[in-house]
């Protein structure tokens, strides 16, 4: 079965939620970063963006017999390049225990490469490359305040496939004419 882009987003959001639950982080919403966004969010938000999905390696096929039918399966691998951003405004009332955007991204990365994270990733059909370092992105928001939205990149690999069935030939008769 082929996972569609929205299914991949749903898997990514689920993985990030599990990472946040592991560290008991609350109050962050998670969104797909596929539309123009106003960076005046008052509540903390994590944006997930699929930068590119590209084919990786050659496509190959397999055949198998299931209940008298020939099942032809086409298989290929895809590389999914993902960028994860975190945005939380720093407030005057913040304490030294307040989790910043950088803190939350470090927790997500830490969980993704942990045994529990890898087990969850593999159960969804993916494998991963090591995530990149966290990079800051400074910008002026809609209120003309300078803000920072740190991010990291991570690459997932998924094996995609689809099946077609063909009736098997049950008998073959050789007919020769004109010899």
Pairing of strands 146-148, 69-87: unpaired
Cα(153)–Cα(98) distance, integer angstroms: 24
Domain ranges of the chain: 5-167
Contact yes or no for 125/159 (Cβ under 8 A): yes
Q: Which residue is it, tokens 């405004």?
A: 89
For 5-167, CATH number?
3.30.2000
Q: pLDDT tens per residue, the chain (179 residues)?
A: 788 899 999 999 999 999 999 999 999 999 888 766 665 556 888 999 998 888 887 888 999 888 878 898 999 999 999 999 998 877 767 778 888 889 999 999 999 999 999 999 999 999 988 899 999 887 766 666 666 789 999 999 999 998 988 776 777 778 888 76
Contact yes or no for 161/73 (Cβ under 8 A): yes
Give the global pTM.
0.80
Contact yes or no for 152/54 (Cβ under 8 A): no
Cα(86)–Cα(39) distance, integer angstroms: 11
Question: Which residues are within 8 A (CB) of 43 and not within 5 positions of it... i.e. 6 or more apart?
Answer: 27, 28, 29
CA distances from 156 to 55, 89, 150, 153 (A): 12, 29, 20, 10
Phi/psi for 98 (5° steps) reads -70, 135
């Amino acid at each position: 079965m082929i996972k569609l882009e929205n299914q991949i987003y749903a898997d990514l959001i689920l993985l990030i939620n599990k990472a946040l639950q592991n560290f008991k982080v609350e109050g962050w919403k998670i969104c797909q970063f596929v539309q123009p966004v106003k960076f005046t969010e008052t509540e903390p938000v994590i944006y997930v963006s699929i930068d590119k999905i590209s084919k990786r390696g050659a496509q190959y096929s397999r055949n198998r017999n299931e209940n008298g039918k020939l099942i032809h399966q086409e298989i290929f691998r895809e590389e999914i390049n993902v960028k994860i951003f975190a945005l939380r405004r720093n407030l005057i009332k913040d304490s030294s225990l307040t989790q910043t955007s950088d803190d939350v991204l470090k927790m997500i990365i830490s969980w993704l490469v942990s045994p529990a994270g890898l087990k969850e990733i593999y159960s969804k059909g993916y494998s991963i490359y090591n995530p990149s370092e966290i990079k800051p992105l400074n910008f002026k928001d809609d209120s003309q305040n300078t803000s920072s939205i740190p991010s990291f990149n991570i690459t997932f690999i998924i094996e995609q496939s689809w099946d077609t069935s063909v009736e098997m030939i049950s008998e073959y008769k050789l007919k020769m004419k004109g010899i």
